[in-house]
Amino acid sequence: MSSEPITVSIRREVDPAYISEATAWVQTGVNLANKHPGFLGSGWIRAGESSHVWYMLYRFANTETLEAWESSAERAEWHSTGQGLVLSERAKRRTGIEGWFDEPATGSVPLPADAQPDASAPAPARWKQAVTIWLGFFPVNLLFTYLMTPVPGFGDLPIWVRVLVTTLVLTPVMTYWVLPWVTRSLRGWLAR
């Protein structure tokens, strides 16, 4: 079991004939989850004004609290009331960097036989992911190294201590600010 917070990303294709009902249904699910222990928050958006593709994220304190929610009677009852509103649903658990590039790939609500499957864009090529990470990491690492050069004694520390300090400082900077900004900036190139 993971003791780290865990996020679930969901992609739903909603029946266009039931947009208002689906809106109320999703909000009811958010309200129920909000009362469940370990719930850290959620958000959902539509792909566009006339789109019937919706994206949702919700987060729990750890795997244990998420699984308690997912196996709860309240969630099962709520989920069953959405039958007929959702044409397809894909969900994926995300704990870190893998969520920056890929789209949910596991299914929990099957696509009806008469519906057309969605041809969603695959994750960018690994080399593009590597270039994106490098474009964020190199300037930040260079700046940090430059800023630490005048710090008395830092250059005299053993290399493993300097690398430890560097990674402890830069990992959250990269995770929360730099890489999200770089991937947004390169979205067009990554999606090609």
Same domain, 38 and 100: yes
Please state the rounded mean pLDDT for residues 146-163: 92
**Number of domain units in the chain:** 2
Residue where a domain stops, chosen among 83, 109, 135: 109
Same domain, 178 and 85: no
Please state the rounded mean pLDDT for residues 156-164: 92
pTM of the model: 0.51
Same domain, 104 and 161: no
What lies within 8 Å, CB to CB, of 56 at 6+ separation is 9, 10, 12, 26, 42, 43, 44, 45
Decide if 115 is inside a domain.
Answer: no
Give the CATH number, domain containing residue 79.
Answer: 3.30.70.100
38, 68 contact by CB (below 8 A): yes
Same domain, 73 and 138: no
Residue where a domain stops, chosen among 56, 79, 109: 109
Decide if 120 is inside a domain.
Answer: no
- Residue 111's pLDDT is 37
Same domain, 85 and 11: yes
Same domain, 102 and 12: yes
Decide if 46 is inside a domain.
Answer: yes
Please state the rounded mean pLDDT for residues 174-185: 85
Same domain, 105 and 139: no
Same domain, 105 and 130: no
Domain housing 61 = 6-109
Position 94 confidence tier, pLDDT thresholds 50, 70, 90: confident
